[in-house]
Amino acid sequence: MANNTAKRIAVLMGGMSAERDVSLVSGQSVADALIQDGYDVTIIDAGRDLATQLATANPDVIFNALHGEWGEDGRVQGVLDLFGRPYTHSGVMASALAMDKHRAKIICKAAGINVPEGKLVAREEAARQHVLKPPYVIKPNAQGSSVGVYLIPIGANRPPVEMARNEKMGEYVLAEVFAPGRELTVSVMGGNALCVTEIIAHTEFYDYEAKYADGGSSHIVPAKISKIAAEVCMEWAVAAHNALGCQGLTRSDFRFDDQELDKNVRKADIVNKIVMLELNTQPGMTPTSLSPEQANYMGMDFRQLCQWIIKDASIPR
């Protein structure tokens, strides 16, 4: 069932993940934009009684502005499927696959996308001894942001011991060969790539602080990279979106190591210098977030973007 005449909108925000605070900001920004456009908006701080909250609000469409575990890993999407009203972003299967970084990498690699070499390991083992040759990265396998990401540099005697106590990372973590280079990201709307943004972190690497703290990073839209490199990132972002079965708005993150490339480089050489890190099925939704920035660059302001997402909502997803 597609959405054509939505008037009452429930905006899901907050929730129970480590990214609750970020979700509250996204959700409020969306709610404010929709109210300005005349929608009847109910804000829902999603809890375990979400089904009851939805029944009370009785919306025509649900805008899912939750971030992180539970909100974008397929579990809330299952509740929304049962509720039976159109909702935004990806459905159960795509959300679950994209949140599971290890499985998402397997699918993306099969689709012809370069991904970092790595493996899934028990968190306690990863904290006890090197599981890859440094430099490498240890990150949660099923979280929606860079909470608890550890960079193990060349020369490190052992991984950080505190990782064993960081239960928020989950029982199993993803160990990946460190991918050097420029941080790039591409948003996909309705199956079409928007543009490429370069993210310049003002911290050691693009971690939680770089993403969300004031002054943590700068965004260059569009990225000052070659046309060929931009095309590869955009093609792969669409390929990942489709391979995982995503819908609505997604954002894919890349690393591009262009240090040893000359001006006459071939596309094959550029392809070998780009890796995809992950895909986010529910990107941040403030006017200065990465995806809204890209939409704005393409001529769609924040209110228009929120309207597009509402109109794109459907059931099932």
Active site residues: 19, 145, 212, 251, 253, 278, 280, 284
Q: For residue 180, say if its preceding peptide bond is cis, omega within 30 degrees of 0.
A: no
Nearest-angstrom CA–CA distance, 213 and 198? 17
Nearest-angstrom CA–CA distance, 42 and 265? 53
Residues 6+ apart with CB under 8 A from 7: 39, 40, 60
Q: Which two tokens stand for residue 152?
A: 């193990």
Nearest-angstrom CA–CA distance, 76 and 49? 11
- Contact between residue 240 and residue 276 where contact means Cβ atoms under 8 Å apart: yes
Burial, 172: exposed, middle or buried (Cβ in 10 Å; 0-12, 13-18, 19+)?
A: middle
Nearest-angstrom CA–CA distance, 70 and 316? 19
Nearest-angstrom CA–CA distance, 216 and 199? 10
Burial, 260: exposed, middle or buried (Cβ in 10 Å; 0-12, 13-18, 19+)?
A: exposed
Q: For residue 153, say if its preceding peptide bond is cis, omega within 30 degrees of 0.
A: no
Nearest-angstrom CA–CA distance, 234 and 188? 8
Going by DSSP bridges, is the β-strand pair 61-64/8-13 parallel, antiparallel, or unpaired?
Answer: parallel
Q: End-to-end alpha-carbon separation of the chain, Å?
A: 9
